[in-house]
A and B are shown apart, each in its own frame.
Chain A
Amino acid sequence: QKEVEQDPGPLSVPEGAIVSLNCTYSNSAFQYFMWYRQYSRKGPELLMYTYSSGNKEDGRFTAQVDKSSKYISLFIRDSQPSDSATYLCAMKGSARQLTFGSGTQLTVLP
């Protein structure tokens, strides 16, 4: 079983929809949680970073962490075609490296 599970999709939504992306994890040592966006043939771009349970909002993006359930989510409001990308969850504990989910491919249709 992988330490981080993420639904690979693909996920296709109409413009303006609310998108929900999710990851579950098994390692209780994970303390820091991140969401990255990766456009085709580009490096991952950091979207959100949080280290506590609860919600964190940044513009149209909301990151949610539930450590008791080992579950994290990223919500995108008013989705735009420019949001079409692969979204990767990542997390780390005391070790230096990030452990990534497999990524969810999102397409927002105009």
Chain B
Amino acid sequence: KAGVTQTPRYLIKTRGQQVTLSCSPISGHRSVSWYQQTPGQGLQFLFEYFSETQRNKGNFPGRFSGRQFSNSRSEMNVSTLELGDSALYLCASSPALLGQETQYFGPGTRLLVL
């Protein structure tokens, strides 16, 4: 099975711009979660989507949003970018079945905000 794929892998934006990141989960996985990883804060949960619905949301401002499509692919959007949004954004997919709680991560999108 192909793993989780994320595009683009690298991105440079300037403050005030917006950005959209894409994630394709492992085939058959219906849950997609997004995390932000920074040296100072580590891995922090952004939100989780299941069957096109946001099921859970972390403690991030409303500038961070996402959506999931009927084929389970997901996008996350960050509007009005700030310098502090520079990070590795990771997508993780999960079967979301009882007893299968594991999450499998993609390679991430490295975002640099100038």
The interface of chain A, by Cβ under 8 A from chain B, is 32, 34, 36, 41-46, 49, 51, 88, 90, 92, 95-103
* CB <8 Å contact, A97 and B48: yes
A-B interface pairs (CB < 8 A), number: 53
* CB <8 Å contact, A95 and B103: no
* CB <8 Å contact, A43 and B103: no
* CB <8 Å contact, A36 and B105: yes
A32–B58 Cα gap in the complex (Å)?
19
Selected A-B contacts with CB under 8 Å, 13 pairs: A43-B4, A43-B6, A44-B90, A46-B105, A96-B31, A96-B33, A96-B48, A96-B56, A97-B56, A98-B33, A98-B45, A98-B103, A103-B42
* CB <8 Å contact, B105 and A44: yes
Q: Which residues from chain A contact B95 at a C-beta distance below 8 Å?
A: none
Interface residues of B in 66-114 (CB under 8 A from A): 90, 92, 96, 101-108, 110
Q: Chain B interface: which size bin? A: 20 to 34
List 16 additional A-B contacts (Cβ < 8 Å) besides A45-B105, A95-B56, A100-B43.
Answer: A32-B101, A34-B103, A43-B4, A43-B105, A44-B105, A46-B102, A46-B103, A90-B43, A92-B101, A96-B96, A97-B48, A97-B58, A98-B92, A98-B103, A101-B42, A102-B42
A103–B108 Cα gap in the complex (Å)?
17
In the complex, what residue of chain A is closest to B108 when comparing beta carbons? A43
